[in-house]
Amino acid sequence: MTSMKRVLSLIVLITSTIGIFSPISLASSEPGLVAYYPFSGNANDQSGNGNDLAVFGAILVQDRFGNFNMAYRFDGSNDYMSASFDTSSDNTFSWTFWLRDLSTTDSIRRWLSTNNTNAANDTVIIRENFAGRGGALELLVGRNDAHGVLEKGQWDYYAVVSDSVSMKVYVNGVLEAINPTLTVDPEPGLFVGGFFDNSPTRPEYFEGFIDDIRLFDDGLTQAEIEQNFLNESLPPIFDADADGIEDEFDLCPNSILGETVTIGGIDSSVENQLQASGCTIEDELYLQCSGDFLDEDGFEDCVEQVAGQLFELGVITEDEEESLEDAVEEFVDTLEDEDDSDEDEDDDSDEDDDD
C-alpha cells in the first residue's frame, strides 16, 4: 500500500469517527419473538423473520415521544395493514402494542386480528366493542370473549396473552380482562387497524394511532409485561457505538473501540480507554490531529503533543506516552519508506521509457 493510500484510509477512519451517527439496528433478539413492528419509517418486521406488513391507507405520524414517522395513524374509514404468516405455533402466545384511540362515537373497531372476516373458532380479535358486556375493551376468540374498561384519547400499552390455560388482556401492565378457560391455536394471518369484508355496511375500522407491535410465540408473564411497559414508557436511548454513553451526550458517537490504540496499523499496546466525553484515546488522537494527516512530520508532532497532554491529565502513564510516541514514529517511518520506494519505482520507469 502506498503512503497516500495509507493516509486516505486514515482520513476515511476520521470521517467515520467525527461524522454522522451510525444507523441503529432495530432487529430484536427477544426470546420467542415472531414479529416486531417499530414503525420506524415503514411497516417492516424488524425481528429478522421477514413478516412485513402491507400498508393500505395508514400514514406515518409522530409517536408517543414526538418522533416523526415512528407510528401509524388509521382514519377509521378504510385504513388497515395485513400480512400472512403463523403468529404462533400453539396456544401459548402474546401480542403487545401501543394504541391511542381517537374515536368519538360508539362502534366496533378492530385493532389487531388474525383475519378480516367473521370470527371462526381459531380467530383472535382485540378490539373496541361499545356493546361489550362488562366494558368496551373486548378480546374475542370465536364466540368466546373477555371484556374490560376502555379509556380513549391517550397512549396505552396493551398485552394479549394466551398461556395455554386462559387468555388475558393487560393495559399498562395491569390485568384488565380475563377468560379463565379460553385458549386457542390461532389461525395464520395478522390484520392491523380493522377491515371486515363480509359486512361492508358495518366495517370495523380503527380510528387512532398504533405503534410498537410485538408478537411472541410464548405467553408473557405479568412481571415481564410490567417490565416491558416500564421500559417502553421511556424515550428510546440512542447509542450508535454501544459504548454506554447516549449519543446526545457523546462527543464521539462512532468511537473507535479497539482494545489498544492503533496508529496507522501500528499497535501501540496502550489501552484504548473510554473517557467520560464518549471518546477513546484513539478518538482523541485522530480528532485533534486530523488536520495534520497530509503532513507526516506535523502529524507526528501532533500525536506526541496529545500524548503529552493525556499524560499530564493522568489519563495515561509516562510509559504509555512513550509507547504512543514510538507507534506514531514507526508509522511515519513506514510512510517515508514507502515514499522512497515509490520514487525509486518512478525513476526505474523513467529509465525504461528512455531506453
pLDDT-derived band at 8, boundaries 50, 70, 90? very low
Largest CA distance in the chain: 101
Q: In angstroms, what CA-CA distances link 303 with 125, 199, 261, 292, 322?
A: 64, 74, 12, 10, 11
Q: Does the pLDDT of residue 42 top 80, yes or no?
A: yes
Residue 54: is its pLDDT beyond 80?
A: yes
Q: Choose the most confident range, by mean pLDDT, from 22-36, 230-244, 269-283, 333-347.
A: 269-283
What is the pLDDT at residue 346? 52
pLDDT number for residue 265: 87
pLDDT at residue 234 in the model: 86
pLDDT attached to residue 134 = 62
Sketch the domain layout of the chain as residue ranges: 3-21+240-354, 33-233
CA distances (Å), 119 to each of 81, 155, 178, 187, 277, in order? 18, 27, 19, 11, 57
pLDDT of residue 16: 43
Structure confidence at residue 355 (pLDDT):
57
**pLDDT-based confidence at 118, cuts 50/70/90?**
low
Domain 33-233 carries which CATH code? 2.60.120.200
Q: Which long-range contacts (CB under 8 A, 24 or more apart) does 21-25 make?
A: 21/238, 21/240, 21/247, 21/253, 21/254, 22/240, 22/241, 22/253, 22/254, 23/240, 24/238, 24/239, 24/240
Q: Name beta bridge partners: 148.
A: 137
How far apart (Å, rounded) are the C-alpha atoms in residues 58 and 209?
Answer: 9
Band of residue 14 on the pLDDT scale cut at 50, 70, 90: very low
Helix or strand (DSSP H, E) at 110: strand 108-113
- Work out the percent of the chain whose per-residue pLDDT is above 90: 53
The confidence band for 48, taking pLDDT boundaries of 50, 70 and 90, is very high
Taking the model in full, what pTM does it have?
A: 0.66
Which of these, 103, 1, 3, lies nearest to 339 by C-alpha position?
A: 3
Taking Cα atoms as reference points, which of 87, 41, 82, 81 lies closest to residue 62? 41
The Cα–Cα gap between 175 and 158 comes to 10
The pLDDT score that the predictor gives to residue 169 is 96
Tell me the pLDDT band of 9, cut-offs 50, 70 and 90.
very low
DSSP secondary structure letters along 117-171: SS--TT-EEEEEETT-TT-SEEEEETTEEEEE----SS-EEEEEEEESS-EEEEE
- Residue 240's pLDDT band, with cuts at 50, 70 and 90, is confident
pLDDT at residue number 119: 67
pLDDT tens, 202-212?
A: 788 999 999 99
244 pLDDT tier (thresholds 50, 70, 90): confident
Kindly tell me if the per-residue pLDDT of 326 is higher than 50. yes
Instruction: Specify the pLDDT at position 309.
Output: 93
Q: Express each pLDDT in 86-108 by its tens digit.
A: 999 899 999 999 999 998 888 88
239 dihedral zone (left: phi>0; alpha: psi -120 to 50; beta): beta
Give whole-number Cα distances, 244 to 37, 251, 255, in Å.
Answer: 25, 13, 11
Does the pLDDT at position 179 exceed 50? Answer: yes
